[in-house]
Amino acid sequence: MCGEYGQADSNKDGDINLADFFTDIQDGGGPGRSGARFSGAGVGALDVNKDNYISEAEYLSGEKHSISNKERGISGPDDGPIGYAYDNRDNFISRISNTIGALPRGSIASEAALGSDGRDISTSRIARFMQGGGVLGAMGRGLTGGSIMSPEYVSPEMGDMTPEEYDRAIVKSFNSIGNTGEQPVPPEVAAAMGRVRGLNPRAVSVPAPVAVNNVEASTAASTADASGTSYVVNAEDMGGGMVKVFYGDNSSEIMPAINYQLMMRNYV
Protein backbone atom coordinates (compact mmCIF):
# COMPACT_ATOMS: atom_id res chain seq x y z
CA MET A 1 0.00 0.00 0.00
CA CYS A 2 0.95 3.68 -0.25
CA GLY A 3 3.90 4.79 1.88
CA GLU A 4 4.19 1.47 3.79
CA TYR A 5 0.68 1.91 5.21
CA GLY A 6 -1.77 -0.99 5.21
CA GLN A 7 0.81 -3.80 5.20
CA ALA A 8 -0.38 -5.29 8.50
CA ASP A 9 -3.74 -6.36 9.92
CA SER A 10 -4.36 -2.94 11.46
CA ASN A 11 -8.07 -3.48 12.15
CA LYS A 12 -7.46 -6.95 13.68
CA ASP A 13 -10.05 -8.74 11.54
CA GLY A 14 -7.76 -11.59 10.46
CA ASP A 15 -7.22 -10.31 6.92
CA ILE A 16 -5.01 -7.70 5.21
CA ASN A 17 -6.91 -5.63 2.67
CA LEU A 18 -7.82 -2.07 1.72
CA ALA A 19 -9.63 -1.57 5.02
CA ASP A 20 -6.29 -1.98 6.83
CA PHE A 21 -4.82 0.85 4.77
CA PHE A 22 -7.58 3.22 5.83
CA THR A 23 -7.26 2.08 9.45
CA ASP A 24 -3.49 2.53 9.39
CA ILE A 25 -3.60 6.11 8.09
CA GLN A 26 -6.15 7.12 10.74
CA ASP A 27 -4.84 5.44 13.91
CA GLY A 28 -1.60 7.42 14.39
CA GLY A 29 1.86 6.10 15.26
CA GLY A 30 3.09 5.82 11.67
CA PRO A 31 2.87 2.82 9.28
CA GLY A 32 2.05 -0.47 11.01
CA ARG A 33 1.54 1.12 14.41
CA SER A 34 -1.05 3.15 16.26
CA GLY A 35 -0.39 6.09 18.53
CA ALA A 36 -1.58 9.02 20.59
CA ARG A 37 -0.33 11.34 17.82
CA PHE A 38 -0.01 11.17 14.06
CA SER A 39 3.47 10.26 12.81
CA GLY A 40 5.39 9.27 9.72
CA ALA A 41 7.65 6.24 9.29
CA GLY A 42 10.79 5.65 11.35
CA VAL A 43 9.38 6.28 14.83
CA GLY A 44 9.72 2.73 16.12
CA ALA A 45 12.30 3.70 18.75
CA LEU A 46 9.62 5.76 20.53
CA ASP A 47 7.66 2.56 21.23
CA VAL A 48 9.71 1.72 24.31
CA ASN A 49 7.53 -1.14 25.55
CA LYS A 50 7.13 -2.63 22.04
CA ASP A 51 3.34 -2.99 22.14
CA ASN A 52 2.95 -1.34 18.69
CA TYR A 53 1.19 1.67 20.24
CA ILE A 54 3.17 4.88 20.82
CA SER A 55 1.51 6.35 23.87
CA GLU A 56 1.43 10.02 24.84
CA ALA A 57 3.90 9.22 27.65
CA GLU A 58 6.27 7.70 25.09
CA TYR A 59 6.00 10.77 22.85
CA LEU A 60 6.75 12.99 25.87
CA SER A 61 9.70 10.78 26.78
CA GLY A 62 10.94 11.12 23.19
CA GLU A 63 10.77 14.89 23.49
CA LYS A 64 12.93 14.80 26.63
CA HIS A 65 15.42 12.48 24.90
CA SER A 66 15.56 14.96 22.02
CA ILE A 67 16.36 17.84 24.36
CA SER A 68 19.02 15.74 26.11
CA ASN A 69 20.59 14.74 22.77
CA LYS A 70 20.90 18.36 21.72
CA GLU A 71 22.44 19.34 25.06
CA ARG A 72 25.05 16.59 24.66
CA GLY A 73 25.67 17.23 20.96
CA ILE A 74 24.19 13.89 19.87
CA SER A 75 22.27 13.81 16.60
CA GLY A 76 22.48 10.35 15.03
CA PRO A 77 20.08 7.39 15.16
CA ASP A 78 22.67 5.16 16.86
CA ASP A 79 23.84 7.48 19.65
CA GLY A 80 20.38 8.70 20.69
CA PRO A 81 17.73 6.64 18.87
CA ILE A 82 14.70 7.73 20.92
CA GLY A 83 15.44 11.43 20.61
CA TYR A 84 16.35 11.01 16.94
CA ALA A 85 13.03 9.24 16.27
CA TYR A 86 11.17 12.08 17.98
CA ASP A 87 12.98 14.71 15.90
CA ASN A 88 11.98 12.88 12.72
CA ARG A 89 8.50 11.81 13.82
CA ASP A 90 6.44 13.76 11.29
CA ASN A 91 5.73 13.67 7.61
CA PHE A 92 3.82 16.42 5.80
CA ILE A 93 0.36 15.01 6.53
CA SER A 94 1.00 14.07 10.17
CA ARG A 95 2.45 17.51 10.89
CA ILE A 96 -0.71 19.18 9.60
CA SER A 97 -2.97 16.80 11.56
CA ASN A 98 -1.10 17.41 14.81
CA THR A 99 -0.91 21.15 14.24
CA ILE A 100 -4.67 21.54 13.83
CA GLY A 101 -5.25 19.62 17.07
CA ALA A 102 -6.62 16.38 15.63
CA LEU A 103 -6.24 13.02 17.40
CA PRO A 104 -5.77 9.59 15.81
CA ARG A 105 -8.80 7.32 15.74
CA GLY A 106 -8.86 5.16 18.87
CA SER A 107 -6.20 7.13 20.73
CA ILE A 108 -8.54 8.40 23.46
CA ALA A 109 -9.68 4.86 24.33
CA SER A 110 -6.12 3.53 24.04
CA GLU A 111 -4.81 6.02 26.60
CA ALA A 112 -7.66 5.00 28.91
CA ALA A 113 -6.75 1.33 28.39
CA LEU A 114 -3.24 2.02 29.70
CA GLY A 115 -4.64 2.91 33.11
CA SER A 116 -2.16 4.89 35.21
CA ASP A 117 0.31 4.90 32.30
CA GLY A 118 -2.22 6.65 30.07
CA ARG A 119 -2.61 10.41 29.66
CA ASP A 120 -5.67 12.59 29.30
CA ILE A 121 -5.63 13.73 25.68
CA SER A 122 -8.21 15.77 23.79
CA THR A 123 -8.69 17.50 20.48
CA SER A 124 -8.02 21.23 20.19
CA ARG A 125 -7.79 24.23 17.86
CA ILE A 126 -9.26 23.82 14.35
CA ALA A 127 -10.06 20.12 14.86
CA ARG A 128 -12.19 20.88 17.93
CA PHE A 129 -13.98 23.68 16.05
CA MET A 130 -14.78 21.33 13.16
CA GLN A 131 -15.98 18.63 15.56
CA GLY A 132 -18.52 21.13 16.79
CA GLY A 133 -19.84 21.51 13.26
CA GLY A 134 -17.77 24.56 12.29
CA VAL A 135 -19.67 27.79 11.71
CA LEU A 136 -23.02 26.01 11.44
CA GLY A 137 -22.29 24.14 14.65
CA ALA A 138 -21.49 27.38 16.46
CA MET A 139 -24.78 28.83 15.25
CA GLY A 140 -26.60 25.67 16.36
CA ARG A 141 -25.08 25.78 19.84
CA GLY A 142 -26.11 29.40 20.10
CA LEU A 143 -29.70 28.46 19.32
CA THR A 144 -29.99 25.15 21.17
CA GLY A 145 -27.19 25.13 23.73
CA GLY A 146 -26.17 21.68 22.49
CA SER A 147 -23.61 20.22 20.08
CA ILE A 148 -24.61 19.07 16.60
CA MET A 149 -21.89 16.38 16.56
CA SER A 150 -21.98 15.31 20.23
CA PRO A 151 -21.23 11.55 20.13
CA GLU A 152 -23.37 9.11 22.09
CA TYR A 153 -21.77 5.79 22.95
CA VAL A 154 -24.20 2.88 22.83
CA SER A 155 -22.92 -0.55 23.88
CA PRO A 156 -23.66 -2.99 21.03
CA GLU A 157 -25.53 -6.26 21.46
CA MET A 158 -23.19 -9.26 21.37
CA GLY A 159 -25.59 -11.61 19.62
CA ASP A 160 -23.66 -14.32 17.77
CA MET A 161 -20.35 -12.42 17.75
CA THR A 162 -17.20 -14.05 19.07
CA PRO A 163 -15.50 -12.27 22.00
CA GLU A 164 -12.92 -10.84 19.58
CA GLU A 165 -15.63 -9.56 17.22
CA TYR A 166 -17.52 -8.08 20.14
CA ASP A 167 -14.42 -6.21 21.35
CA ARG A 168 -14.01 -4.68 17.90
CA ALA A 169 -17.71 -3.76 17.83
CA ILE A 170 -17.43 -2.01 21.21
CA VAL A 171 -14.39 -0.03 20.05
CA LYS A 172 -16.04 0.88 16.75
CA SER A 173 -19.16 2.09 18.53
CA PHE A 174 -17.10 4.42 20.73
CA ASN A 175 -14.69 5.74 18.08
CA SER A 176 -16.88 8.56 16.82
CA ILE A 177 -15.38 11.37 14.77
CA GLY A 178 -16.98 13.68 17.30
CA ASN A 179 -14.99 12.37 20.30
CA THR A 180 -13.13 15.25 21.90
CA GLY A 181 -11.61 13.52 24.93
CA GLU A 182 -13.60 15.62 27.37
CA GLN A 183 -15.89 12.78 28.43
CA PRO A 184 -14.63 9.76 30.41
CA VAL A 185 -14.06 6.53 28.49
CA PRO A 186 -16.45 3.76 29.64
CA PRO A 187 -14.51 0.96 31.39
CA GLU A 188 -15.75 -1.69 28.94
CA VAL A 189 -14.44 0.39 26.02
CA ALA A 190 -11.01 0.81 27.63
CA ALA A 191 -10.83 -2.92 28.37
CA ALA A 192 -11.90 -3.86 24.84
CA MET A 193 -9.36 -1.49 23.28
CA GLY A 194 -6.62 -2.94 25.45
CA ARG A 195 -7.44 -6.42 24.16
CA VAL A 196 -7.84 -5.34 20.52
CA ARG A 197 -4.52 -3.52 20.40
CA GLY A 198 -2.66 -5.75 22.88
CA LEU A 199 -1.55 -2.72 24.87
CA ASN A 200 1.22 -2.63 27.46
CA PRO A 201 2.27 -6.34 27.55
CA ARG A 202 4.96 -5.59 30.13
CA ALA A 203 2.27 -4.92 32.71
CA VAL A 204 2.09 -8.67 33.34
CA SER A 205 5.41 -9.98 32.02
CA VAL A 206 8.04 -7.97 33.92
CA PRO A 207 8.91 -8.04 37.63
CA ALA A 208 8.78 -4.96 39.84
CA PRO A 209 11.85 -2.69 39.99
CA VAL A 210 14.13 -2.26 42.99
CA ALA A 211 16.32 0.70 44.00
CA VAL A 212 19.86 0.87 42.56
CA ASN A 213 21.99 3.99 43.19
CA ASN A 214 18.90 6.11 43.86
CA VAL A 215 17.21 4.95 40.66
CA GLU A 216 15.43 1.70 39.83
CA ALA A 217 16.35 -1.49 38.02
CA SER A 218 14.43 -4.70 37.33
CA THR A 219 14.99 -7.85 39.39
CA ALA A 220 14.51 -10.00 36.29
CA ALA A 221 16.56 -13.18 36.14
CA SER A 222 16.06 -13.56 32.36
CA THR A 223 17.24 -10.95 29.86
CA ALA A 224 14.17 -10.17 27.76
CA ASP A 225 10.39 -10.26 27.80
CA ALA A 226 8.11 -12.15 25.40
CA SER A 227 8.44 -9.41 22.77
CA GLY A 228 12.25 -9.72 22.80
CA THR A 229 12.77 -6.38 24.52
CA SER A 230 15.73 -6.48 26.94
CA TYR A 231 15.10 -6.01 30.62
CA VAL A 232 16.87 -3.30 32.58
CA VAL A 233 19.25 -5.13 34.93
CA ASN A 234 21.14 -2.22 36.47
CA ALA A 235 21.39 1.55 36.48
CA GLU A 236 24.06 4.00 37.54
CA ASP A 237 23.52 7.60 38.59
CA MET A 238 25.93 9.64 36.44
CA GLY A 239 25.17 12.95 38.15
CA GLY A 240 23.74 16.05 36.57
CA GLY A 241 20.35 14.41 36.19
CA MET A 242 21.68 11.65 33.90
CA VAL A 243 21.49 7.86 34.36
CA LYS A 244 23.39 5.06 32.62
CA VAL A 245 21.06 2.11 32.06
CA PHE A 246 22.34 -1.45 31.58
CA TYR A 247 20.24 -4.04 29.73
CA GLY A 248 20.18 -7.83 29.87
CA ASP A 249 21.70 -8.12 26.38
CA ASN A 250 24.88 -6.38 27.67
CA SER A 251 24.03 -3.09 25.97
CA SER A 252 23.77 0.22 27.81
CA GLU A 253 22.38 3.71 27.28
CA ILE A 254 22.76 7.09 28.96
CA MET A 255 19.53 9.04 29.40
CA PRO A 256 17.97 11.76 31.58
CA ALA A 257 16.83 10.41 34.96
CA ILE A 258 13.25 11.57 34.30
CA ASN A 259 13.14 9.58 31.06
CA TYR A 260 14.45 6.52 32.90
CA GLN A 261 11.71 6.81 35.50
CA LEU A 262 9.08 7.11 32.75
CA MET A 263 10.49 4.03 31.00
CA MET A 264 10.46 2.01 34.22
CA ARG A 265 6.75 2.73 34.68
CA ASN A 266 6.16 0.18 31.91
CA TYR A 267 7.80 -2.48 34.09
CA VAL A 268 5.21 -2.52 36.87
The number of domains in the chain is 3
Q: Residue 249: which domain range?
A: 203-267
Asked whether residue 115 is assigned to any structural domain, the reply reads: no
Whole-angstrom Cα distance, residue 46 to residue 29? 9
What local confidence, expressed as pLDDT, does residue 42 receive?
86
In this structure, the answer to whether residues 183 and 231 fall within a common structural domain is no
Residue 104's pLDDT band (cuts 50, 70, 90):
very high
My answer on whether 193 and 208 are in the same domain is no
- Each residue's pLDDT tens digit, 161-187: 888 889 989 998 888 777 888 888 988
Q: Which residue spans within 183-241 are E strands per DSSP?
A: 209-212, 215-218, 232-239
Mark whether 36 and 84 lie in a shared domain.
yes
pLDDT of the residue at 210: 43
Q: How far is CA 258 from CA 68, 151, 168, 240, in A?
A: 11, 37, 36, 12
Q: Does 112 reside within a domain?
A: no
Residue 105 included in any domain: no
40 and 128, same domain (yes or no)? no
Q: End of a domain among 155, 182, 199?
A: 199
How far is residue 34's CA from residue 180's CA, in Å, rounded to a whole number?
18
Band the pLDDT of 212: cuts 50, 70, 90.
very low
Domain annotation covers residue 149: yes
Burial 237-250 (b: 16+ CB within 10 A, else e): eeeeebbbbbbbee
pLDDT at residue 9, rounded to an integer:
65
What's the pLDDT tens digit per position in 111-167? 999 888 889 999 999 988 887 765 444 444 444 344 444 456 778 888 898 888 899
| Inside any domain, residue 191 | yes
Torsion angle defined by CA atoms of residues 191, 51, 166 and 116, in that order, rounded to the nearest 10 degrees: 10
* Strand 242-247 versus strand 252-256 pairing type: antiparallel
* In a domain? residue 160: yes
Q: Are residues 158 and 87 in the same domain?
A: no
Whether 159 and 188 map to the same domain: the answer is yes
- Is residue 22 in a domain? yes
